[in-house]
Chain A
Amino acid sequence: MPDGMNVDYDGLIPNNVDLASDARVKKALETWHPGYIDWWKDMGPDGFQEALVYLRTAVSVDPKGWAKFDYVRMPEYKWGILLAPRVEGRLIGFGSHKGEPAWQEIPGEYRGMLRRLMVIQGDTEPASVEQQRHLGKTAPSLYDMRNLFQVNVEEGRHLWAMVYLLQKYLGKDGREEAEDLLRRRSGDADTPRMLGAFNETTPDWVSFFMFTFFTDRDGKMQLEALAQSGFDPLSRTCRFMLTEEAHHMFVGETGVQRIIERTCEAMKAAGIEDPGDTARIRALGVVDLPALQRKVNLHFSLTLDLFGSEVSTNAANAYNSGVKGRYREDKLDDDHRLLDSTYPVLRCRDGAIVQEAVPALSALNMRLRDDYVADCQGGVNRWNKVMEKAGIAFRLTLPHVAFNRRIGEFSAIEADPEGRVMDAGAWAANRDRWLPTGDDNLYVTGLMRPVDTAGAYASWIAPPKVGIDNKPGHFEYVKLWDA
């Protein structure tokens, strides 16, 4: 087994970076640790700190077989520093340093840029834990509750991952940033998280699944781009985070899929053909598909804002300097410098949406967003298969990228989900057709009743096809009482 693949659980902080022989960083992390635990107790899952949760913990960073499952109290979870194994002789794969050996230390000239990228990435990790902290109380099953907590502890570990990089490679500034990551709070008026979507609430489980499908997927795209970085420790960190992130995508995608399955099943059993027959469908205690579409519209558009401006100098700088690549840069077949190529970008010109060829370097946010949309579309297609199989005449679609935007080209205009530009009055008049209504929210909130009997599921969601760690259907994923 290559060096650094096994995790050292002997010290306070599990790691595969030989923390034991790095006194400075060890001390910094041990100083930061109590604050983290305080943060987890204050802002982590509300009401379940004593519950025994069947969680996976990494024991090795070997992509096959890295996890071990067991019951854990969340505050005792083994958060640690895990990096994908070092690839000997790794070269920078893109930008002006292409072909040079990957950096093992931060080059001084890119210090600010790397710091900014790591802080922004780091800030999203605890943010989602904060956003989701009340959901345990309305979990539709112990299985789902366990998945929520698994996502939560892993987001906590992702925070550790960024904090390690900040503390190891950015000295005093890095330690200050690490402290600030614990001080900001999602949605707080005075100390909000850095990005808009991470200050929205996640009020119910439908939102949670949408969030993990759409917003965690933005995290995945960002991690994929950073995994290409010429700064090797960042690349290795992100590569390992991606293995965890895959589970978050799974939770989101199967969560929505199970809602759809349940709705289709209930509609068929009741002989309802029209997906828009809201009153009758809701009387069955399931989520009607048009309401689901409105949730899709909301979460997709909020998440697109996370990609920043379509045409961006920062993105260009980060690429050219070898700090942040494209999605799957190593699989792309071009010169990996992009100095002379262009990329088509949708822009807003005199109130109309037009396509323009923009220098490819400046269009990297747009490119990553396009890759993201394609990735989302795959999941949406799988959802639609469920309805097709069930014979329900409804299909979910992703709204146009100009719909409901606050950042970038389209923040200045209003467009409907098909991308037709309209004035603010017309948009407002139709808003309730496109985005979750007060009624939708009331109805969905009403469905959110906890189900905490092992093997039982709420009325609005189908059971999963297979259990976690291949456990049987009645398995008690969370032991609430006998802690």
Chain B
Amino acid sequence: MSRIDFQTEPGRYRHWRLRFDGAVAELLMDVDPAAGLFEGYELKLNSYDLGVDIELSDAIQRLRFEHPEVGAVVLRSAKENVFCAGANIRMLGKATHGHKVNFCKFTNETRCSIEDATEHSGQTWICAVNGTAAGGGYELAVSCDSILLIDDRRSSVSLPETPLLAVLPGTGGLTRITDKRRVRRDRADVFCSTEEGVRGKRAVEWRLVDEVVPPSAWEARIRERADEAAARSDRPRAATGVALTPLTRRFTDDGVAYGFVTIACDRAAGRATVTVAAPAGPPPATLEAARSAGFWPLQAARELDDAILHLRANEPALGLLVLRTEGAAAQVLAHDAFLEAHQGDWFIREVRLYWKRLLKRIDMTSRSLVALVEPGSCFAGTLAELAFAADRSVMLDGARAGDNRPPAALALSPLNFGAYPMANGLTRLRARFWGEPDSVGAAQARIGAAIEAGEADALGLVTMVFDETDWDDEVRIMLEERASFSPDALTGMEANLRFVGPETMETRIFGRLTAWQNWIFQRANAVGETGALKLYGTGVQPSYDKARV
């Protein structure tokens, strides 16, 4: 199978078009049926596969970084009478379980990033549903801040998965309608079991959409809504965007080399080592000079994001990710200081929000994560979050013989204490110290210091500390042991332990997706030879094993 590539740019889009008019952008969905990511299905009626979502994700990123002038984004369909039919069912019917899980996760992260743009970036997403919005198509609409539905007496919104496909509106549909749109749960029950969905006044009454608009007023009303939203935005109309230029990547059999990030695969051991390098020098002297794709925090984030997505989609057998960093911690901290000093700037805000989302993506990655904190590493500030995201972190105490670099040290910056909340709303340190809140304060008191192994251990910032005598063996045995466990059990265990404390809509979405949808995806009622997904489109009715589990 060819490699799934998460990099694209508008010139290469097959499924979307962007239009700009002052502070309002329009993102038009116009899926090319013949341009599916894989063979064997057609993307009819604006249905989507991972390829469509990769472009959507790219468009969202570019709207944020390249278009500071845009305060409102109108999401709509370029096809007549259909907004979006949701995930392509034939694709789901053919896909491996692993691909389905990855696909749902990525699409959900993409929808979360739409919500993040509305909530934090001053870019309000408005969905103009001109035609049928079914299943994932409606979920896409729900990820926007508001939904306008054309009232032509045929356009409707629906989540028909249960009656039609024997799966769930799984990319968060069920959770978003009750938690975000606050649809009453018994109405949601009716809605989700009605294949043809709901249209017109009732859709508003049930809070499934915000407004229905007659076709004659349609364009004007969309524009009005968008202008209102754009007027509320704090994004600078006159600023120039930062072009997200193509990443420099070199793929080899054994890994990928980016500018600051490398992936080294050890297939025999079932693991990949991901190394992030510190910036070579201090941050730019001015904010103006920082505005480029080469600004280290931005470039490193884009590279690491791509690396994680690549590993998820293309290297399923590498179940263990070893996280490493290298370079000068001081430069990382200097960049953190720069991000902190200019946090009011639109571009710096975007960079920080990007790191937030990237780190969440890492939290959500179903691979064992082990951070190795060694001499020469720079787990400092923003990069220290990688160690806190890991299931375990191991630190080398002292120096290695013949290595004249200083002993390994961790360092904290103010960004560790609020800039990068997890899906559960907690910082990684608060989540880590859920049972010992005072430890957060103790760590905070050491912002800026080089925290060597002994102190890191005492502060609870690392899992284990070994000196040179034990290091090689301990680390080897730990990694080998990890790789020997059941990958399913590990995925479940890690996901349970990573997210302590409160639930949020986001954790509920991902948790339920993982628990329920991925369970249903395994069941014969969905994927068996006579299951609904397998038979969809053949006209033959599925036959269900009626025993409740």
Residue numbers of A with Cβ under 8 A of B are 96, 112-113, 115-116, 180, 183-184, 189-192, 194, 309, 313, 315-321, 338-339, 350, 359, 361-362
Q: Does B439 contact A (CB under 8 A)?
A: no
Q: Judge whether B437 is part of the interface by a CB distance below 8 angstroms.
A: no
- Give which listed residue, A180, A190, A320, contacts B541 with CB less than 8 A: A320
* Cα–Cα, bound, A472→B273 (Å): 96
> Does A190 lie within 8 Å of B540, measured CB to CB?
no
In the complex, B214 has a CB within 8 A of chain A: yes
Q: Are B196 and A316 in contact (CB under 8 A)?
A: no
B196 touches A190 (CB 8 A): no
Whether B154 and A194, one on each chain, are in contact in the complex, defined by CB atoms closer than 8 angstroms, is: yes
| With contact pairs A112-B194, A362-B537 given, residues A309 and B151 touching in the complex (Cβ less than 8 Å) | no
B186-225 interface with A by 8 A CB criterion: 194-196, 214-216
Question: B residues within 8 A CB of A321?
Answer: 541
**Known contacts A115-B196, A190-B216, A309-B44, A184 near B153 by CB under 8 Å:** yes
In B490-549, the 8 Å CB interface with A consists of: 536-541
B457 at the A interface (CB under 8 A): no
Interface residues of B in 145-162 (CB under 8 A from A): 151-154
With A112-B194, A116-B196, A309-B44 in contact, do A190 and B214 touch (Cβ < 8 Å)? yes
Contact check: which of B215, B538, B541 meets A362 at CB < 8 Å? B538
Q: Which residues of the other chain, B, contact A189 by a CB distance below 8 angstroms?
A: 214-216
* Chain A neighbourhood of B154, CB < 8 A: 192, 194
* Bound form: Cα–Cα A180–B536 in Å: 31
Contact A191 B540 (CB under 8 A): no
Q: Please determine whether B152 and A320 come into contact, CB atoms closer than 8 angstroms.
A: no
**SS of A interface (majority):** helix
Q: Which B residues contact A (CB, under 8 angstroms)?
A: 34, 44, 151-154, 163, 194-196, 214-216, 536-541
- 8 of the cross-chain contacts (CB-CB < 8 Å) are A184-B153, A189-B215, A191-B152, A192-B153, A194-B153, A316-B540, A320-B539, A361-B538
CA A386 to CA B539, docked complex, whole Å: 44
- Bound complex: CA of A96 vs CA of B543, how far in Å? 12
In the complex where A112-B163, A190-B216, A194-B154 touch, is A316 in contact with B195 (Cβ < 8 A)? Answer: no
**Chain A minimum-CB-distance residue to B214:** A190
Min C-beta distance of B259 to chain A, whole Å: 39
How far, in whole Å, are A319 and B537 apart by their CA atoms in the complex? 12
Q: Which of B34, B153, B196, B540 contacts A112 (CB 8 A)?
A: B196
B195:A313 contact, CB within 8 angstroms? no
B538 touches A96 (CB 8 A): no
Shortest distance from the beta carbon of A175 to any chain B beta carbon, whole Å: 14
Known: A112-B163, A116-B196. A190 touches B538 (CB 8 A): no
Report yes or no: A359 in contact with B196, Cβ–Cβ below 8 A: no
* B214 neighbours in A (Cβ, 8 Å): 189-191
Q: Which residue of A lies closest to B193 (CB)?
A: A112
Min CB–CB distance B238 → chain A (angstroms): 38
CA distance A359 to B154 in the complex (A): 30
Given contacts A112-B163, A112-B196, A309-B44, contact A361 B153 (CB under 8 A): no
Residues of A within 8 A of B152 (CB): 190-192
- Residue with the greatest number of chain B CB neighbours at <10 A, chosen from A112, A115, A192: A112
Which DSSP category, helix, strand, loop or mixed, fits chain B's interface?
loop
Interface pair B196/A320, CB less than 8 Å apart: no
A-B contact count (CB 8 A): 57
B195: which A residues are within 8 A, CB to CB? 112-113
- Determine which of A115, A184, A313, A339 lies in contact with B537 in the assembled complex, contact meaning CB atoms within 8 Å: A313
Let me know if B537 and A316 touch, CB within 8 A: yes
Residues of A within 8 A of B163 (CB): 112
Bound-state CA distance A362–B194 (Å) is 23
Known: A112-B163, A180-B153. A313 touches B215 (CB 8 A): no
Tell me, rounded to whole Å, the shortest Cβ–Cβ distance linking A404 to chain B.
16
Known: A112-B163, A115-B196. A317 touches B539 (CB 8 A): yes
With a CB–CB cut-off of 8 A, which chain A residues contact B194?
112
* The residue from B153, B215, B540 contacting A339, defined by CB atoms under 8 A apart: B540
Out of B151, B215, B536, B539, name the residue touching A319 (CB < 8 Å): B539
Residues of B close to A180: CB separation below 8 A: 153
Bound-state CA distance A115–B540 (Å) is 20
A179–B545 Cα distance when bound, in Å, is 40
Q: How far is the CA of A184 from the CA of B154 in the complex (A)?
A: 10
CA distance A359 to B539 in the complex (A): 10
Q: Is A359 a contact partner of B541 (Cβ separation < 8 A)?
A: no
Smallest beta-carbon distance B197→chain A, Å:
10
Q: Which residues of B contact A183 (CB under 8 A)?
A: 153
Q: How far is the CB of B207 from chain A (nearest CB, A)?
A: 20
Q: Which residue of B lies closest to A360 (CB)?
A: B539
Residues of B within 8 A of A192 (CB): 152-154, 215
B316 to chain A, nearest CB (A): 31
Chain A residues contacting B215 (CB-CB under 8 Å) are 189-190, 192
A362 near B44: Cβ-Cβ < 8 Å = no
- A309 contact set on B, CB distance < 8 A: 44
CB neighbours (8 Å) of A350 from chain B are 34
Min C-beta distance of A197 to chain B, whole Å: 14
A96: B residues at CB distance < 8 A: 540-541
> Smallest Cβ distance from A74 to chain B, in angstroms?
26
CB neighbours (8 Å) of A313 from chain B are 536-537, 539
- Min distance, Cβ A26 to any Cβ of chain B, angstroms: 27
Residue picked from A184, A191, A319, most chain B C-beta under 10 Å: A191
| Extra pairs beyond A189-B214, A313-B536 (5, CB < 8 Å) | A116-B196, A184-B153, A190-B214, A350-B34, A359-B538
3 tightest CB-CB pairs across the interface, nearest first?
A316-B539, A361-B539, A320-B539
**Cα distance, A432 to B119, chains bound together (Å):** 53
A318 to B195, CA, bound (A): 14
Report Cα–Cα, A357/B536, bound state, in Å. 19
Known: A112-B194, A116-B196. A190 touches B151 (CB 8 A): yes
Partner of B538, one of A115, A184, A191, A316: A316
Shortest CB-to-CB span from A25 to chain B, Å, is 23
- Give the chain B neighbours of A116 by CB distance below 8 A: 196
The chain B residue with its CB closest to the CB of A316 is B539
**How far does the alpha carbon of A190 sit from the alpha carbon of B219 in the complex, in Å?**
12
C-alpha gap A362/B163 in the complex (Å): 20
Report Cα–Cα, A116/B197, bound state, in Å: 12
Distance of A474 from chain B, by nearest CB (Å): 46
A39 smallest CB distance to B (angstroms): 15
- The answer to whether A320 touches B153 (Cβ under 8 A) is no
Residues of chain B lying within 8 A (CB to CB) of residue A191:
152-153, 214
Kindly name the residue among A192, A313, A359 whose own CB sees the greatest number of chain B CB atoms within 10 A: A313
Whole-angstrom CA separation of A316 from B196 in the bound complex: 17
Q: Which of B196, B538, B540 has the most CB of A within 10 A?
A: B540
How distant is the Cα of A76 from the Cα of B69 in the complex, in angstroms?
Answer: 64
Given A183-B153, A189-B216, A190-B215, A362 and B539 contact (CB-CB distance below 8 Å): yes
Chain A contacts of B196 at CB under 8 A? Answer: 112, 115-116
B536 surroundings in chain A (CB, below 8 A): 313
Shortest C-beta distance, A106 to chain B (Å), equals 14
B150 (CB) vs chain A CBs: closest residue: A190
Q: In the complex, what residues of A have CB within 8 A of residue B34's CB?
A: 350
Give chain B nearest CB distance to A80 CB in angstroms. 27
How many angstroms between the C-alpha atoms of A151 and B538 in the bound complex? 38
Query: How many angstroms between the C-alpha atoms of A291 and B20 in the bound complex?
Result: 44
Q: Which residues from chain B contact A184 at a C-beta distance below 8 Å?
A: 153
Report which residue of A180, A190, A320, A359 has the largest number of chain B beta carbons within 10 angstroms of its beta carbon: A190
Q: Which residues of B contact A112 (CB under 8 A)?
A: 163, 194-196
- Least Cβ distance of A162 to chain B in Å? 16
Q: Taking CB as reference atom, which chain A residue is nearest B89? A: A313
Of all chain B residues, the one with the shortest Cβ separation from A176 is B202
Chain B residues within 8 Å of A361, by CB: 538-540
Q: How far is the CA of A113 from the CA of B540 in the complex (A)?
A: 14
CA distance A192 to B155 in the complex (A): 11
How distant is A100 from chain B, measured CB to nearest CB, in Å?
A: 14
Instruction: Report Cα–Cα, A190/B539, bound state, in Å.
Output: 34
Chain B proximity of A42: nearest CB distance (Å)? 17
CA A317 to CA B154, docked complex, whole Å: 21
